[in-house]
Amino acid sequence: MRRLALGIVFLVVLALGASGLGFGPIVLNPEGEQRIAFLLGDPVRVIQEPGLSLVPPFARIQVFDARWRQLSAEPREIPTLDQERIVIDYYVVWRIEDPLQFRRNFPTGLLEAEKQIDQQVRGQLREVVGQKQLMQVLKGERRAILEQIARESNAAVERFGVEVRDVRISRTELPRGTEENVYARMRAERNRLARKYRAEGEEQARVIRAEADRESQVIVAEARRDAEIERGKGDAEAARIYAEAYSTDAEFYAFVRGLEAYRKTLGKGTLLVLPPDHEFFRLFQSGGELPPVSAPGR
C-alpha cells in the first residue's frame, strides 16, 4: 500500500515536471522550441533537439522560440552614392541560434533583440547602399546588394546568438517631395511620346495620300498615252484602207472626191457667177444636138 502510494507520488512529480510547468526533471521540448535549464542561476543544459530530456530536478526551465521570425523595420531614409535619398522599407528574417548567447545579450527578451538586430542591419544597409548609385540599388545589383547586406548582418549578429537568414527590401520610395519631380518627368516623357505618335500619323497620312495621287496620275497618264496610241492605230488603219482603195483608181477618186467637195461647200448662200459658155449650159448652145460623150470629164 505504501509502495503504491509512493509510486503514485513519484509519477505525479514526474508528470508535473514534464508538463512544462518549468522545473524538471523530465523536460519535453517540442518542435520549434528550445530550452535552457538553470540550476541556482547557472545554466546547466541547453536543449535544442525535440523530444524528452533529463535535467536535474527542480531546475528552472526557460523557453525560447527556435523558429524563423520576421522583423519589420521602420522605413528609413538612406542616401546613395549619387546623393539620392531613398526611403527603404525592409524586413529581416532571423532566429535564435544559440539561446544561451541570446539570453546573455538580451536578458529582457525579443523586443530588445529586434532593436539590436535592426540596428546592425541598418548599419550594413547604410554602408553598402552608400557605396552604390540609386539605379544599382533598385535594379542592377539589387539581389547582390541584398545578399551582401544579409551576409554581413549575419556575421555581425553572430555574437548575439542569432542567425540572419535574409534581408529584403519590401518597398522603396523617394522621399516626400521628390515624387513631384518624378511625375513631372513622367508627364514630359508621355507628352513627347504623344507628340511623336501624332507626328508619325500625319507623316504616314501624307505619304499615303501623295502616293495615291502619284499613282492615280500615272494611271490616267498611261491611259491617255494608250488611248492616243489606239487612236493612232485607228487613224493609220483607216488611212491605209483609204489609200489602198483610192489608189486602185486615183483619177476617179480625185473626180468623185472633187464632186463631193462641191456638194459640201457650195449650196445655200453661195453666189455663183457663171459664164454662159459654161459646160453645164452647153445644151442651151447646142440647141438640141447631141453633145460628144466620149470626151474625158473636165
* CA nearest to 167, candidates 154, 178, 181: 154
Q: For other proteins, which stretch binds (CB under 8 A), given 55-63, 112-120, 125-133, 164-172?
A: 164-172
The alpha carbon torsion through 208, 213, 217, 219 (nearest 10 deg) reads 40
- Pairing assessment for the beta strands 51-54 and 85-96 based on DSSP bridges: unpaired
266 binds other proteins (CB under 8 A): yes
CB 90 within 8 A of CB 169: yes
- In this chain, which of 41, 107, 177, 275 binds other proteins, going by CB under 8 A? 275
Distance CA 33, CA 49 (A): 9
- In this chain, which of 227, 254, 282, 285 binds other proteins, going by CB under 8 A? 227
- In this chain, which of 77, 127, 147, 222 binds other proteins, going by CB under 8 A? 222
Distances (CA, A) of 131 to 138, 154, 222, 257: 13, 20, 73, 111
Retrieve residue 270's grid coordinates: 453661195
Distance CA 50, CA 172 (A): 40
Amino acid at 146: L
Please state the closest distance from residue 169 (CB atom) to other proteins, in A.
6
Count of Cβ atoms closer than 10 Å to residue 113 Cβ: 22
269 binds other proteins (CB under 8 A): yes
74 binds other proteins (CB under 8 A): no
CB 20 within 8 A of CB 47: no
Please state the closest distance from residue 252 (CB atom) to other proteins, in A.
5
- In this chain, which of 112, 127, 147, 249 binds other proteins, going by CB under 8 A? 249
Task: Please say which residue, 5 or 40, places its beta carbon nearer to other proteins.
Answer: 5
How far is the first Cα of the chain from the last one, in angstroms, to the nearest whole number?
A: 181
85 binds other proteins (CB under 8 A): no
274 binds other proteins (CB under 8 A): yes
223 binds other proteins (CB under 8 A): yes
User: Site residues for other proteins, window 122-161 (CB under 8 A)?
Assistant: 135, 138-139, 142-143
255 binds other proteins (CB under 8 A): yes
Q: For other proteins, which stretch binds (CB under 8 A), given 38-46, 55-63, 123-131, 234-242?
A: 234-242
**How many residues touch other proteins (CB under 8 A)?**
113
235 binds other proteins (CB under 8 A): yes
* CA nearest to 121, candidates 84, 163, 83: 163
206 binds other proteins (CB under 8 A): yes
Please state the closest distance from residue 30 (CB atom) to other proteins, in A.
4
